[in-house]
Structure 1
Amino acid sequence: MRTGLKPVLRTAVALVGASALIALAGCTTDPTVEPGGGEGGGEDSSEEWFDQKLYDRQFEERDVVPEGPEDKPYLQMINPEMGDTSEFKSEGGKKMCFANASISNPWRQTGWITMNEQLKDLKKNGVITEMETRDAQDNDDTQIADIDYFISEGDCDGFIISPNSTSAITPAVERACKTDKPVIVFDRGVETDCAVTFIHPIGGFAWGIDTSQFLIDNLEKGDKVVALRILPGVDVLEQRWAAAEKLFGEADIEVVDYFTEGDPAEIKKVVSDELAKGDVQGVWMDAGDGAVSAVEAFEDAGKDYPVMTGEDELSFLRKWKDTDMTAMAPVYSNFQWRTPLLAAEMIFKGEEVPTEWVLPQSPITAEDLDEYLDRNKGMPDGHYAKFGGEDLSGFPEVWQDRVIP
């Protein structure tokens, strides 16, 4: 894995459509994908991951009013095409088997806590008797073995899979589908549509559009942006960057991008090195881990705060509030961790569910920053503001205490 201390400089971008991949999220590497160009990422990577049709679809979905209960975003749906699940209808409590990519970052930890609180409620209601979980710890081979273990074990009533990477996990998902038990894929995607439903927020292109357009609207032509990327080969991260790179190039914004693995020390070093070369007017991130370190680099250098996009992690929101800088927090809706279990409940009742369940994905802006800070008072810095678990029985203590099951 390369961390890329030498940037790739771009002032104009020509992007070529590539075959569509289902959107995913998270911070792991697909070993089948090699980043192109220089150590900072490369144009080949952007070309591979850009898909005009998916870009256009997610561009439009950003403005769609979702269907579903207004106070339950985790049950809302954007442009759903409903699928029949009557073949899975059955009585009694069910055992679910969950193959999780990892809980190795604050976003996944927040979701995992929320998922387990949702599970407690469903257990009380007799819907699910047990959820056996195996954690792949960000390793494709481990997750493939986990899924095959569940299949060979033979006592799973249904499967929930959050894939570690896109192509590597696809065959294992297909094997799970062949058991004729319902398979639910969420968060990250695979290259098959055999699952009963694939649950995810709008996607990486939507993130890239929202964030880059915010920076463009608040910068001048020729201004310099440092783009901080976590890892290559994760499709939602690559799609975030592909959309942003396209729009930055069209707006004549100078961009240098680096892979940092989300390491705060690396982020601070990268930004400090760029500031030593000259002024930086903007910071763009494909995920918000370490965002505060980027801000601190400006403070240490005695420079004006940049126009910046981070994420809805509270550490960034609080720093944004304290500095009053020009910022926006994109969101990859953490409340999606509730939806697979609720989808399983619907499936075993024989109710229709969307074949692709697209959840809302709305950034936090300056206008609603105070609202989300107030709603999350007492939560730790690693908590995500739009976690969507306020109505669960463990709120707020379980999240405040950061109880990781």
Structure 2
Amino acid sequence: MKRSLKATVGLVGAASLILLAGCTTDPSVEAPQETGETADAEWFDQELYDKQDQERGIEPEGPADQPYLQAIEPVMADTSEYQVDGAQKLCFANASISNPWRQTGWITMNEQLKALQDSGVISEMETRDAQDNDDTQIADIDYFIAEGNCDGFIISPNSTAAMTPAVERACETGKPVIVFDRGVQTDCAVTFIHPIGGFAWGIDTAEFLIDNLEEGDKVVALRILPGVDVLEQRWAAAEKLFDEAGIEAVDYFTEGDPAEIKKVISDELATGDVQGVWMDAGDGAVAAIEAFEEAGADYPVMTGEDELSFLRKWEDTGMTALAPVYSNFQWRTPLLAAEKIFAGEEVPEEWVLPQSPITEDERADFLERNDGMPDGHYAKFGGEDLPGYPQIWQDRQIP
């Protein structure tokens, strides 16, 4: 039978909304390991699960055509102490641009920067890239502090606990600090910007698979990395719902490597039918589908991501699928938040952006909107009104 089935940055729950969607693919990855474990209490947080589940159904406040300015149930922060005149210098400590999701966002962020430079809000944004290394990012933040030339800080943390003291040091300068996409365990930042979170992703995807499968069907879960909280939360939510629905789910870590993904799927198909594929990030989604084709097996019910390679393969095959989203347009929001802060306007203390999957009914529209974009581009990048559109994204010009 088929079945349907406010916390602050300083709280561990909210701080664990960390993002590593489209994680770095390492071609030297060892053979994947099936975890064979149930949802771990270290990662499953019932309060945060319930919060994100509820937020999925809340209509965000803000302009309908500007999702990067929308917010879910915002609690506003007074920023009048930061009001200044003239163009201001921002300092951006970025975790990395090591995967297609982050590269797409970085392109969009730089185009938003050009617009704010043209309007006289920002003079420049000095950026340091930590290349996925905690020690490097700590040194980057401390460099900015010692330099003393930052009118405001934007920080996309590489990890949660390790970055917390450095973020606090930036706050101690008295300049506004904006944290986005991954959290830290302090509430000293003026605003923390992020989509709803990992549990919401897990609920969206698991419910879709459950609705389209039968009790007793088998799902192979392809996971990128262990120990990354938002990814662990995606799986913890999905595993909980699969267990409750009587779906047999086995999970493997693959680091998104296409060869390893194909091996996992091929090995599973050799032992029996696989009715569903669940992914905690879209890297390698096409490889998973190709493994079914090469085995001559029926296409599975599948969840991938809003990367265009998956959307295009989904359209070509006609398979039953869903594209969950960890809203890439969030890369615009920190700069727009800085504009508001420098003007002394209120911003949400925790800026929760909408996070809505792309359904079959919406797929054609998003493919049409992104016609001509490369496969590594993300459909919900939200930069259509920015300078350089569409050429900069089509050419994949990484600043």
Q: TM-score range by the shorter chain?
A: over 0.9
Work out whether 1:325 is the aligned partner of 2:330: no
Give the AA of the match of 2:13.
Answer: A
- Counterpart position of 2:8: none
Q: For the aligned residues, what is the CA RMSD?
A: 1.5
Q: Report the CA distance between 1:301 and its aligned residue.
A: 0.5
- Counterpart position of 2:121: 127
Alpha-carbon contact 2:90-2:124 (below 8 Å) kept: yes
Work out whether 1:20 is the aligned partner of 2:6: no
1:172 and 1:243 map into 2 onto residues whose CA distance is 31
Q: Deviations over 1:125-154 (max 9, x none)?
A: 110011011111111111111111111111
Of 154, 164, 168, the residue aligned with 1:170 is 164
- Counterpart position of 1:10: none
Q: Report the CA distance between 1:42 and its aligned residue.
A: 5.9
State the TM-score, normalizing by the size of structure 1: 0.92
Alpha-carbon contact 1:28-1:234 (below 8 Å) kept: no
Give the AA of the match of 1:214.
Answer: F
Alpha-carbon contact 2:93-2:137 (below 8 Å) kept: yes
Q: Report the CA distance between 1:39 and its aligned residue.
A: 4.5
Q: Deviations over 1:107-129 (max 9, x none)?
A: 00000000000000000011001
Q: Report the CA distance between 1:55 and its aligned residue.
A: 0.6
Q: 1:170 to 1:280 in 2, by over 3 A?
A: same
2:257 and 2:165 map into 1 onto residues whose CA distance is 32
- Counterpart position of 1:191: 185
Q: 1:68 to 1:28 in 2, by over 3 A?
A: closer
- Counterpart position of 1:382: 376
- Counterpart position of 1:397: 391
What SS class does the counterpart of residue 90 from structure 2 fall into?
Answer: strand
Give the AA of the match of 2:65.
Answer: D
Question: What pairs up with 1:37-52 in 2 under 5 angstroms?
Answer: 39-41=33-35, 43=37, 46-52=40-46
Q: How many residues align?
A: 380
Q: Report the CA distance between 1:19 and its aligned residue.
A: 5.4
Q: 1:106 to 1:244 in 2, by over 3 A?
A: same
Q: Deviations over 1:12-58 (max 9, x none)?
A: xxxxxx952420211599xxxxxxxx944464773201111111111
Gaps of 5+ in 2: 1-10, 24-31
- Counterpart position of 2:61: 67
Q: 1:19 to 1:99 in 2, by over 3 A?
A: closer
What SS class does the counterpart of residue 392 from structure 1 fall into?
Answer: coil
Alpha-carbon contact 1:166-1:235 (below 8 Å) kept: no
Question: What pairs up with 1:84-99 in 2 under 5 angstroms?
Answer: 84-99=78-93
What SS class does the counterpart of residue 160 from structure 1 fall into?
Answer: strand
Give the AA of the match of 1:102.
Answer: S
What SS class does the counterpart of residue 319 from structure 1 fall into?
Answer: helix
Give the AA of the match of 1:315.
Answer: S
Of 342, 347, 355, the residue aligned with 1:348 is 342
Of 263, 282, 301, the residue aligned with 1:269 is 263
Alpha-carbon contact 1:27-1:231 (below 8 Å) kept: no
Q: 1:79 to 1:119 in 2, by over 3 A?
A: same
Give the AA of the match of 1:20.
Answer: G
Alpha-carbon contact 2:22-2:281 (below 8 Å) kept: no
1:231 and 1:198 map into 2 onto residues whose CA distance is 24
What SS class does the counterpart of residue 210 from structure 1 fall into?
Answer: helix
Question: What pairs up with 1:243-392 in 2 under 5 angstroms?
Answer: 243-392=237-386
- Counterpart position of 2:196: 202
Q: 1:42 to 1:88 in 2, by over 3 A?
A: farther
2:160 and 2:39 map into 1 onto residues whose CA distance is 15
Work out whether 1:237 is the aligned partner of 2:227: no
1:122 and 1:223 map into 2 onto residues whose CA distance is 52
What SS class does the counterpart of residue 46 from structure 1 fall into?
Answer: coil
1:265 and 1:178 map into 2 onto residues whose CA distance is 47
Q: Report the CA distance between 1:268 and its aligned residue.
A: 1.3
Alpha-carbon contact 2:134-2:158 (below 8 Å) kept: yes
- Same amino acid, percent of matched pairs: 78
Work out whether 1:161 is the aligned partner of 2:155: yes
- Counterpart position of 2:105: 111
Q: Report the CA distance between 1:235 and its aligned residue.
A: 1.4
Gaps of 5+ in 1: 1-17, 30-37
2:21 and 2:40 map into 1 onto residues whose CA distance is 17
- Counterpart position of 1:140: 134
